[in-house]
Amino acid sequence: MNLDRGLWIDHEEVSAQGRERLAVMNPYSQAQWGTVAVADAADVDRAVASAQRCFDTAWSTTSGYQRGRLLNRLADLLDAQAERFAELETRNNGKLYKETLVQVRFAARSYRYYAGYADKIHGEYLPLDNPQMVDFTVYRPFGVVALITPWNSPMTILSNKLAPALAAGNCAVIKPSEFAPITTLEFAMLFKEAGFPAGVVNVVTGAGDTGAALVAHPKVRKVSFTGGNLGGRKVMEGAAVRQVPVTLELGGKSPNIVFADADIPRAVNGAIAGIFAAGGQTCIAGSRLLVQRPVYVQMVEELGRRAALIRQGDPMQPDTQLGPVANAPQHTRILGVIEKTRSGGARMVAGPGGAGQQVPERGLFVPATVFADVRNDMDIARHEVFGPVLAVLPFDDEDEAIRIANDSEFGLAGGIWTQNIARAHRVASRLECGNVWINTYRMGAVQAPFGGRKGSGFGRERGSEGLRAYLTVQNVMVNTAETDDDPFSIRT
∠ CA 162-167-173, rounded to 5°? 35
Q: Is the CB of residue 322 less than 8 Å from the CB of residue 388?
A: yes
Q: Is the CB of residue 37 less than 8 Å from the CB of residue 6?
A: yes
> Half-sphere exposure of 242 toward its Cβ, with a 13 Å CA cutoff?
18
Q: In what order do the strands lie in the sheet with 32-37?
A: 3-5, 32-37, 21-25
Nearest CA among 468, 151, 162 for reference residue 283: 151
| SS3 at position 277 | helix
Q: For the chain, how far is it from start to end, CA to CA, in angstroms?
A: 68
171 is catalytic: no
Pairing of strands 3-5, 471-479: unpaired
| SS3 at position 197 | coil
Nearest CA among 251, 240, 257 for reference residue 296: 257
Q: Rounded to 5 degrees, what are φ and ψ at 385?
A: -90, -40
The DSSP secondary structure of 301-341, one letter per residue, reads HHHHHHHHTPPBS-TTSTT--B---S-HHHHHHHHHHHHHH
Task: Give the span between the Cα atoms of 272 and 311, in whole angstroms.
Answer: 13
Residues 6+ away with beta carbon under 8 Å from 61:
none
Catalytic residue among 54, 171, 283, 433: 283
The DSSP secondary structure of 17-76, one letter per residue, reads TTS-EEEEE-TTT--EEEEEE---HHHHHHHHHHHHHHHHHTGGGS-HHHHHHHHHHHHH
| Consecutive H or E run containing 479 | strand 471-479
Catalytic residue among 249, 384, 433, 461: 249
Q: Residue 475 forms beta bridges with which residues?
A: 137
Q: Is the CB of residue 64 less than 8 Å from the CB of residue 115?
A: no
∠ CA 433-434-439, rounded to 5°? 80
Cα–Cα distances in angstroms (integers) from residue 72 to residues 107, 196, 366, 380, in the given order: 12, 11, 40, 44
Nearest CA among 266, 262, 313 for reference residue 291: 262
Q: What is the DSSP letter of 180?
A: S
Q: Is the CB of residue 249 less than 8 Å from the CB of residue 451?
A: yes
249 is catalytic: yes
The residues that are catalytic are: 249, 283
